[in-house]
Structure 1
Amino acid sequence: MDEAVERRRFLGLTAAVAALGLTATVSGCGSLGGDSGDVTLKLVAAEYDLTGGDSTKKYWTELAAAFEAKHPGIKVQVQVESWDDVDRKVAEMVKAGEAPDIAQIGAYADYAAAGRLYAADELLSIPVQANFLPRLAAAGEHKKTQYGLPFVASTRPLFYNKALFEKAGVEPPTTWDELAAAAGKLKKEGVRTPFALPLGPEEAQAEAMMWLLAGEGGWTDASDHYAVDSETNVRTFEWLRTNLVGKDLTGPVAPGKLNRKAAFTAFANGEVGMLNGHPSLLKEAAKKGVEVGQVPLPGADGPSKTSMGVADWIMGFKQNGHRKEIGDFLNFAFNDENVLKFAGDNDLLPVTVSASTRMETDPEHANLHVFLKVLPDAQLPPVGKTSWAQVSENVKQNIGKAVTPNGRPAEVLGSIGRVATAAEAAE
């Protein structure tokens, strides 16, 4: 049995053990080589603190200090950048020949395709690699090899304002028709935005994907090829245009101009009846005294059979040749305690089997249990495709046109789909 086959077999066995919650905590073990002398690793990470504080920098600085204490001769230099800038800044570093050793950012596929990243099995011990939730590990693969290591994740249920629902006398919806009916009653009660539909350029690709999945479609088909303008997807956007936007149930801002951040702010201010939610919104709503209800996303005939998952990624760059030291640091970073601390502090979901199992039984994180429940089976965007960045940007700029009063979903989705198919062919 060759080494690759043996490793895959061991990964499968270890994953089974992890699923039972028996995976041993890994703290810097599984080093992939001997001591290599004094090395400084440069880590660039994204800012997660929604309040403008420094909790993200504090997390990484403390993690680096704890790692350095156990690994004499390895220093970690931490640089935290806002989500508005971090992907661009890492790209500029790479282009200038100054790639960081480790980057925690939003996408990995372009760097993997260019041969700039270490594969997961070049960095991680077998127990650590096997401990990732399988759907997330698979989403980190480019051409069947994992390069993107999931860092944190989220899923998206339907959020509703309990006080507004009670006032309007409506129950949480389980189908699209029930959702439209509830939105109509909320409007009659004077709710400014019965349903917030953020299809603006901030994150339209994610909002749209939630609706496509609820309509039993998606960005790709069963063979993982783009299927943007499938009949199922077109029907979903025709329903949105006719039954929500066309009946003036999506508020004063046109969906194509409404960004997620503005929608979330309005929800936290008590101005929105319903929206597709994100874990980070819970804390903001609670600060404003808004009591949030959560249910699975409604589908055409019942609760959506598939939920959307989103992951952010961490990766190791080859440029400086620090494979062993990067591996040591990442093995340490994926210790259960570290994974749980970052996810819990930011109302996000852990990406490993063992940490997820612990969070599921922790009453301190009861508000995240509904998100955790659907994560193992959640469907992620096609982030392993190098074409996805281009396709995603096209969706952000144009998908809102499909739900304008005179919008033609078949034409809008068809245009996006043709560009997607061409980009895929060029990969």
Structure 2
Amino acid sequence: MRRGIRGTLATALVAGLALAASGCGSGGDGGGAAGGELSGTVTFWDTSNDAEKATYRKLAEGFQKEHPKVHVAYVNVPFGDANAKFKNAAGGGDGAGAPDVMRTDVAWVADFANLGYLAPLDGTPALDDTGDYLPQAVGSTRFHGKTYAAPQVIDTLALFYNKKLLEDAGVPVPKTFAELGAAARKIKAKTGATALYLRGDDPYWFLPYLYGEGGDMVDAAHKKVTVDNAAGVRAFRTIKQLVESKAAVTDATDGQENQLKALKDGTVAMAVDGPWDIEGARAGKAFQDKGNLGVAPVPGGSTAQGAPQGGWDLSVYAGSKNLRAAYAFVKYMSSAQVQRETTDKLSLLPTRTSVYNDPAVKRNEMVAFFKPAVDRAVQRPWIAEGNSLFEPLKVQMNKVLTGAATPEQAAKAVGDAYRKLLKDYT
């Protein structure tokens, strides 16, 4: 029910975007005389990872070929630093040091817009051919009836697995976390590998366990906190049991790098990850034969199967001194052509329907899997406090995994924290 309603709303949002984008005027200043040739500098903060940033830099600089009087100042900002760095720059007096355009995590858009840091894009050239966007990619770009970003990449989580290790252990790809736990002892005995690397440092990776029990963080439509109901308790219990039974190894520090290394080295047979790590995983010794990397749906819980919808949007700083060029840059970076190149080089999923009809994109094996996974992914609540919902989860995940809290205590603590954060939620 929830997913169906959200899909309908997203479709309506696409229609709204198309109408808004048909309006006249760029709403910008700087970048040359109105209607004239673009000029000046566009500073672009790219939050892509080490395996992606060279491609994004080349694509960003390609904008200069179309607009030779515009200089793109490319800056790669580590994902972990980007949110706070942008807020500090955008909120610091005259906004000196803030970028003109930022590659923004989908969970940040509503927060930044609520603070007044993003320029509305309705009626600007930034929103080009909006009817081509996937309906489910639009939700995160909207806040209080306005559009504050252009969808650029959509993603979700899936189960990456080492085909040889599972074959040597004689176990099938698990469809549930219960099946994974049951197969773990055989995997260890036959191959020496631990069954799963469980990300204990990042609460985003908790969501498949929560969705797998039929739960969610909040019910935004009815303004209710739901993370501390029975489904939330079961989700915490699942991660606790996987680690205590030695079916999974976890690390509360740098889980991103440690998980990828464990997968690449073959010390774990499986990991829940996203399309951004496909090329990174294939660079490891365990996948010298690239065909050895398998991708399957995230295992389900006791009642459901689901992974969170993620991705990246392109947003414009409200205080930009070169809005016309910034709008044009967003149009370029979210265009079908750039998305095709991104998919070709990085296997990331585009947000435009037309790109999926491209023969080369259709042949991309990871797109072939992840597109259906994205279609089934669960949209998160696109509220200003959405990103803040993760910190209480992170704290309690660590407590459960280290034995400092029971699943019941952890779920209650997260629910209490949410009610303090969301004053009008019950």
The equivalent residue for 1:3 is none
> How many residues of Structure 1 are paired with residues of Structure 2 in the alignment?
395
1:66 aligns to what?
65
In structure 2, distance between residues paired with 1:223 and 1:9 = 16
Task: Work out whether residues 267 and 273 of structure 1, in 8 Å CA contact, stay in contact via their aligned partners in 2.
Answer: yes
Distance 1:178 1:60, change over 3 A: same
Shift of 1:189: 2.4
Find 1:206's aligned residue among 204, 207, 218: 204
1:93 Cα offset (Å):
2.2
What is residue 229 of structure 2 aligned with on the other side? 230
Give distance in 2, aligned partners of 1:82 and 1:346: 18
> For residue 120 of structure 1, what is the aligned residue in structure 2?
121
Deviation at 1:309, TM superposition (A): 1.8
Matched residue type, 1:32 = S
Map Cα deviations across residues 20-76 of structure 1 (whole Å, 9 max, x no partner).
Answer: xxxxxx9xx9863741566424332225352497333222112x213314xxx6544
For 2:100 and 2:117, how far apart are their aligned partners in 1? Answer: 11
Q: Is the 8 A contact 2:40 2:70 kept in 1?
A: yes
Superposition pairs for residues 51-200 of structure 1, below 5 Å? 51=51, 54-62=54-62, 64-69=63-68, 74-96=70-92, 97-98=95-96, 99-106=98-105, 107-124=108-125, 128-200=129-201
Letter in 1 for 2:26: L
Structure 1: distance between partners of 2:75 and 2:115 = 24
**Which of 252, 259, 262 in structure 1 is aligned with 2:255?**
259
Q: Give the AA of the match of 1:182.
A: A
Partner of 2:7: none
Local SS of the residue matching 1:122: coil
For residues 179 and 395 of structure 2, what CA distance do their matches in structure 1 show?
30
Aligned residue among 271, 274, 280 for 1:284: 280
Report the Cα offset of residue 385 of structure 1.
2.2
Counterpart CA distance in 2 for 1:360 and 1:344 is 7
Structure 2 length-normalised TM: 0.82
Alignment of 1:32 onto 2:26 = yes
Q: Which residue of 2 aligns with 1:306?
A: 306
CA distance in structure 2 between the partners assigned to 1:414 and 1:54 by the alignment:
44
1:391 to 367, 389, 392: 389
Deviations 1:202-258 (A, max 9, x none): xx221101211122212222626442212111112213323x12212213xx45456
Q: Post-superposition shift, 1:13? A: 9.3
Structure 2 unmatched ranges of 5 or more: 1-10, 28-33
Check 1:53–1:324 CA distance in 2 against 1; reply closer, same or farther (3 A cut).
closer
- Give the one of 389, 398, 401 matched to 1:400: 398
Counterpart residue identity of residue 380, structure 1: Q
SS at match of 2:219: coil
- Deviation sequence 1:306-361 (CA, Å, 0-9, x none): 33221122111221364443333322322211112124322311122222343785
List 4+ stretches of structure 1 deviating above 6 A.
none
CA distance in 1, matches of 2:190, 2:39: 63
Q: How far, CA to CA, are the matches of 1:357 and 1:381 in structure 2?
A: 27
TM-score by length of 1: 0.82
* Separation of aligned partners in 2, 1:119 and 1:367: 34
**Partners in 1 of 2:344 and 2:204 — Cα distance?**
23
